[in-house]
Structure 1
Amino acid sequence: MSLSIAASYLKAAVSQRRIGVMRSSLLGNGIRSLSTGATNVATEEHEPKFLKAVEQYFDRAAKYSDASEETLKHIKSTDSVLSVTFPVEKDGKTVMIRGYRSQHSRHRLPCKGGIRFSSAVDLQEVEALSALMTYKCAVVDVPFGGGKGGIMINPQEWTEAELERITRRFTLELCQKNFIGPGVDVPAPDVGTGAREMGWIADTYRNFNPQDVNGAACVTGKALSLGGVRGRTEATGLGVYYGIREFLAFPEVQERIKHHGKVEDTSVIIQGFGNVGYWASKFFESNGAKIIGIVEHDYAAYNLSGLNIEQLSLWRKEHGSFKGYPDAQILDNPMTLLEAECDVLIPAALERQIGLRNAHRVKAKLIGEAANGPVTPGADQVLRNNGKVIVPDLLLNAGGVCVSYFEWAKNLSHLRFGRMNKRWDERSKGQLLALVEGNAGRPLSEVERRQLIHGAEEHELVYSGLEDTMIVACNETRQTAIAKDIDYRTAALANSINKIAASLAGSGSIFTHA
């Protein structure tokens, strides 16, 4: 989208805001509460839907890639989409359930991507998310194609037994259509799903494929007792922390946003307090950042001195929301907190949260996209023109698929990480330490010895692998951005396109003429 078009949209938005019903009040520290009524809808009409937005980002990056026009067409297109409907009984009545699974690219197999339960699920959303998964896997060098699935239900309206029937029936549809399997398509948790649902999927697949010795690898994000990997639950949030930490350390980012470059004393606002938002806030808090705001769909909690994340989480679990939490200012118009002063804003909820309707009011210096597609193309340009740095979703929230890859590899090897080498490492370190102690003159305490010779546990190996993956991908993105003088989203996507194109070129085609 051109700057002139974006400017015209913003002009229209301002005009609409003057006409619309408004209420404003000071909430402290410059936060304003605004109710714009139909303004948001009117403004969003000018912006592309989610799938179109992903395609626009792709087209922008394609100009900086090395891929041919024909290869770009191949990469951009979705390979396969499955749409199913099936009946489920609820309260004595038959309800028709609709589900989708999209395999965007099979240049690498299996395809990989989550399954979400949401009443907002539709075919375009699933296709857009599967495309993002393709690019995400490529940018962090995870050897998967992109997939995504969803069932169009609100999980809050169904009992656990009903959700199990729905999940198992959907898995049956995937089995019958060859849309699931360790070497075909491997789902994972997403919005509205978790380890429980992944366990149901794995069990259903195993019952229909009892001869598949690698059947546990048909899905990731499972409980440890079912073959999951330690560190998977917090993986996406930890990856968000690693990614933002790396970008804050880049001198050009520090210069652009006038920041000291360290996580310590960095003010952070996070939208979404689900799995990703919770763990991201925990890792930032434990590394010295100040979490001044958490935004949920109904309320937001704000404290300029910093929130206690664990206390806030416990309050929400007990009371169902932030309402009444004593150690923060509770806002009943939560989206306004996206516009508050802070160093880092992390949208970790759903897509299209920052658009032309509000991008010009965002004051954060760096926006880290922990959710998929939280910033629209028009808003992306407005933010960058206003001097903001955007760390894109396909890079920043790749921690989940990275550790899903580790879990998949663990299931195929049938061996827990660290089982073969932990004791050997500890003995080797112990021998080296004894040699050093003999020449150092001071014997170490038992606690010091244990700390120095400790062999890595599975979660420590997972953390290490994830950190290395994120550091490499962040630096590759930075190098491309500097070399081509482009933004980080375009750079990350251009790198993805080049890697996918190389894979396609290397494999050739069965239709290639001799």
Structure 2
Amino acid sequence: MPDKTFLDSVGQYFDNAAPHTGLPDGLLKQIKVCNSVYQIYFPVKINGEVQVIEAYRAQHSHHRSPTKGGIRYSNHVNQEEVVALATLMSYKCAIVDVPFGGAKGGVRINPWEYSEADLEKITRRYTTELIRRKFIGPAIDVPAPDYGTGPREMAWIYDTYRSFHPDDINAAGCVTGKPVSQNGVRGRTEATGRGVFYGVREACNQQELMDRLGLNLGIEGKTMVVQGLGNVGSHTATISQDEGGVKIIGVSEVEGAIYSKDGFDIHAVIAHRAEHGSILSFPGVESYGKDDRRSVMEFECDILVPAALENQIDEHNAGNVRAKIIAEAANGPITAAGSTILAERGIVVLPDIYLNAGGVTVSYFEWLKNLSHMRFGRLQKRFDERNYRRIVEQIEETTGKQISDRDRSMIIHGADEIDLVRSGLEETMITGFQGMYELYKSKDDIKDLRTAAFALAISKISNDYISLGIWP
């Protein structure tokens, strides 16, 4: 039976995992349902004419406060999609122990059809509607960037909220993903892609898993294909190449796909597209036109990274996938029917509710920074550097040997904000993987990592419901 919607797939994943939790049906139903959805229609004057804009904000679960989730601008936005994304956010936060409930927002527009001034009007009016209905606030609901939005839109949201709440000293915590100059945090832009890299690297460090797939231990030297060179896909690819020694052999974008079995420099591909408007003219590769861009899913590789939109691998093409590991950098890129086929074929899927949690993890760090009113590293950086310098000098004095200026600089370096953010993200992704993987290995009746991830998330959310007295 073919898949119906993205929300149907999310519901099916929940139903597959629920029997492994041992929880009563009533509690499972409460965890599964979306608590509240706000549908909005508001007028905005564009080029002298009034347009009525359709928008949403869904808060899936209030087992933790505030709720948290991005805002996407897309002409494909609808209520079911927003609810499905909010639902995934609840489970995502639970897996990586980020203390938020899940939420998501969407504005039904094509952002590339509007000027910057018009987008600002739409964003500020949308934010005003959320403020009026108490669907935003540092202790209520904290939006973030998603598809079609970025730091610019988050700055507009922050400024609009602050104008309504001038006395709120924690106003900066009403939204994350802001520019660093406006109370953002360093490392947020790359966070989801970097989190994907850490998650894939940790999976590739599991000897038992690699033996099963017939792969060598470790991420270095593995081949990778990336669908989508937006924020998440581009950072996943560049970090995997630069820090992991991965060979990028295929990428796709809206205009088509390219492939080379010998690999290519992903930085050069991104620069070429910025200059020429397309990846298809990149030299020395096989090119596939717009109509064949989904063929990227069928390129032979070790690791396939779907980093675009949902429902990209389904029952129609799952049987043709030739990757050994699929790393779900996007939300919901594989349908429930497609996921079943991949599991039967022995392909390992690193599920979205774990793998792309890097964004919400660093958003959590930004929120904490905003509430504490202090930059990370401010208290300890100089203290640490002085201590490290004394240690180096003592070693040199004792041994009678001098280390190079380069090594000295590296050793005595105290942690900046970016260092602490990356370290915290790395720890979060490693710990999250281990929790999911240990559950997967401990239960013979759990056949894939996605089911393990959902079961783990459901169990953690249930603990909050019970311990906080939310569940009678």
- The CA deviation at 1:256 is 2.0
Q: Which residue of 2 aligns with 1:36?
A: none
Partner of 2:313: 354
Distance 2:286 2:392 in 1: 52
Question: 2:195 is paired with a residue of what secondary structure?
Answer: helix
Is 1:190 equivalent to 2:135 in the alignment? no
Output the amino acid matched with 1:449.
Answer: R
Say which SS state the counterpart of residue 51 (structure 2) adopts: strand
2:252: which partner in 1? Answer: 295
Determine the structure 1 residue equivalent to 2:350: 391
Shift of 1:478: 0.7
CA contact (8 A) 1:114 1:149 kept: yes
Runs of 4+, deviation exceeding 3 Å: none
Query: What 5-or-longer segments of structure 1 have no aligned partner?
Result: 1-8, 10-45
Aligned to 2:264: 307
1:458-469 aligned within 5 A? 458-469=417-428
Q: What residue is the counterpart of 1:407 in the other structure?
A: 366
Equivalent in the alignment of 2:193: 237
Equivalent residue for 1:53? 9
- Structure-2 residue corresponding to 1:134: 90
TM-score, normalising length from structure 1?
Answer: 0.89
The one-letter amino acid paired with 2:281 is G
Q: Which runs of 5+ in 2 are unaligned?
A: none
In the alignment, the residues of structure 2 paired with residue 120 and residue 56 of structure 1 have an alpha-carbon distance, to the nearest angstrom, of 22
> In 2 relative to 1, CA 324–261 (structure 1 residues): closer, same or farther, beyond 3 Å?
same
| Alignment correspondent of 1:498 | 459
Superposition deviation, residue 51 in structure 1: 0.7
CA distance in 1, matches of 2:407, 2:89: 44
For residues 174 and 184 of structure 1, what CA distance do their matches in structure 2 show? 11
| In structure 1, distance between residues paired with 2:206 and 2:120 | 47
Q: Give the 5 Å matches for 1:13-32.
A: none
Identify which of 314, 324, 336 aligns with 1:377.
336
- How many correspondences in the alignment? 467
Partners of 1:343 and 1:165 lie apart in 2 by: 45
What's 1:24 paired with?
Answer: none
Moved more, 308-317 or 470-479: 308-317
1:13-54 CA distances to partner (integer Å, 9 max, x unpaired)?
Answer: xxxxxxxxxxxxxxxxxxxxxxxxxxxxxxxxx213111110
Amino acid of the residue matched to residue 249 of structure 1?
Answer: N
Of residues 255, 262, 266, the one that matches 2:222 is 266
Matches within 5 A, 1:156-235: 156-235=112-191
Please state how far the C-alpha of 1:295 moved relative to its aligned partner: 1.1
**Alignment-mate amino acid for residue 347 of structure 1:** P
Q: Secondary structure at the match of 1:141?
A: coil
Deviation of 1:415 after TM superposition, in Å, equals 0.4
Question: Structure 1, residues 100-137: CA drift from partner, whole Å, max 9, x if none?
Answer: 00000011011000000000000000000000000000
| Structure 2 counterpart SS, 1:496 | helix
Residues in 1 aligned to 2:343 and 2:68: alpha-carbon distance in whole angstroms: 31
Residue from 272, 276, 297 that aligns with 1:319 = 276
Contact persistence 1:237–1:279 (CA under 8 A): yes
The one-letter amino acid of 1:507's match is L
SS at match of 1:365: strand
Pair 1:75-2:31 in alignment: yes
| CA distances 1:135-193 after superposition (whole Å, capped 9, x unpaired) | 00000000000000000000111111000000000000000000000000000000000
Q: Equivalent pairs: percent with the same residue? A: 49
Q: In terms of mean alpha carbon deviation, does 59-68 or 404-413 score higher?
A: 59-68
Instruction: Using the TM superposition, give the Cα deviation of residue 327 of structure 1 relative to its aligned residue in structure 2, in angstroms.
Output: 3.5
Deviation at 1:329, TM superposition (A): 2.1
Matched, 1:453 2:399: no
Letter in 2 for 1:299: G
- For 1:43, the equivalent position in structure 2 comes to none
Deviation of the 1:310 alpha carbon:
1.4
Could you say which residue in structure 1 is the equivalent of 2:73? 117
Corresponding position of 1:21:
none
RMSD of aligned Cα (Å): 1.1
Q: Is the 8 A contact 1:67 1:497 kept in 2?
A: no
Distance 1:78 1:87 in 2: 27
TM-score (norm 2): 0.97
Amino acid in structure 2 at the alignment position of 1:289: V
Return the index of the structure with the highest Cα Rg. 1
> 1:328 aligned to 2:289?
no
The alpha-carbon deviation at position 342 of structure 1 amounts to 0.4
For 1:84 and 1:274, the matched residues in 2 are separated by 28
Cα pair 1:272 1:349 within 8 Å, conserved: yes
